[in-house]
Amino acid sequence: MSLIHLEGLSKVYRVGDQEIRALNEVNLRIEEGEFIAIIGSSGSGKSTLMHLLGCLDTPTTGRMEICGNDLAKASNDELARVRNREIGFVFQAFNLLPKLDVVSNIALPLIYAGVPSRERLARAKKAASDVGLGDRLANRPPQLSGGQCQRVAIARALVNNPRILFADEPTGNPDSATGRMILEMFDALHASGKTVVLVTHDPSIAARSRRVIEIRDGRITREYAP
């Protein structure tokens, strides 16, 4: 059984009298351990797809199964649980809490997983040192560089040991030192068996994956291996 299974998935937004079909009958299967890139220009529907896959939203019609959970008509609590346990999300804008230090930022998902505070701290510290930030635990995001923030975001996404890692435009320039390091990190995660889904507009970043899915006008138009 596939880790992610989408069938006839549509998302329709209503703006006044107008219907905007952001996703139109999308079918997609992603197996455990895959390294996939979803590529598309702005307005193609890739963000909508990513929000659905990330359980931040529910589809208008169609089937959506993630990690064995039928989420097409799931309640908010159910979506929250899947977001918390099964999915790690690395946002384009990092989305760290500026008032919290590195450890607390990384430990955030564990709070909502009900992990006791001592264990939270230990796991957050380990996740921080896994991404090479073991010496930055007490710093707060404004004191970190962009690359460091990105690594905090990755550590936070991984701390609850999710089965799928989503990354939305994980790096700007894939040839910069930071970009290379981030992409290497994804390679390593893939190698360790984690399912990785990159969402990007940049074909050179998508080329790092094993399978590229191209989206245009709310439909999957092309699928290829780089």
For residues 194-223, which are near other proteins according to CB under 8 A? none
Residue 189: partners with Cβ closer than 8 Å, 6 or more residues away: 158, 165, 196
- Binding other proteins (rule: CB under 8 A), the pick from 125, 151, 156, 190 is 156
For residues 117-146, which are near other proteins according to CB under 8 A? 117
Residue 80 touches other proteins, criterion: CB under 8 A: yes
Residue 95: partners with Cβ closer than 8 Å, 6 or more residues away: 153
Residue 12 touches other proteins, criterion: CB under 8 A: no
Give CA angle at 158 (154, 161), nearest 5°. Answer: 175
- Binding other proteins (rule: CB under 8 A), the pick from 91, 121, 137, 202 is 91
- Comparison of 1 and 42: residue with beta carbon closer to other proteins: 42
CB of 48 to other proteins, least distance (A): 9
CB of 226 to other proteins, least distance (A): 29
CB of 71 to other proteins, least distance (A): 14
Residue 112 touches other proteins, criterion: CB under 8 A: yes
CA torsion 92→41→53→186, rounded to 10°?
Answer: -50
- Binding other proteins (rule: CB under 8 A), the pick from 26, 38, 66, 89 is 89
CA torsion 65→150→219→205, rounded to 10°?
Answer: -120
What is the distance in angstroms between the CA of the first residue and the CA of the last residue of the chain? 25
Beta strands, E only, the chain = 4-15, 18-30, 35-39, 61-66, 69-70, 87-90, 164-168, 195-200, 211-216, 219-224
- Comparison of 6 and 153: residue with beta carbon closer to other proteins: 153
Binding site for other proteins (CB under 8 A): 51, 54, 56-57, 76-77, 80-81, 83-85, 89, 91, 93, 95-97, 99, 108-109, 111-114, 117, 156, 160
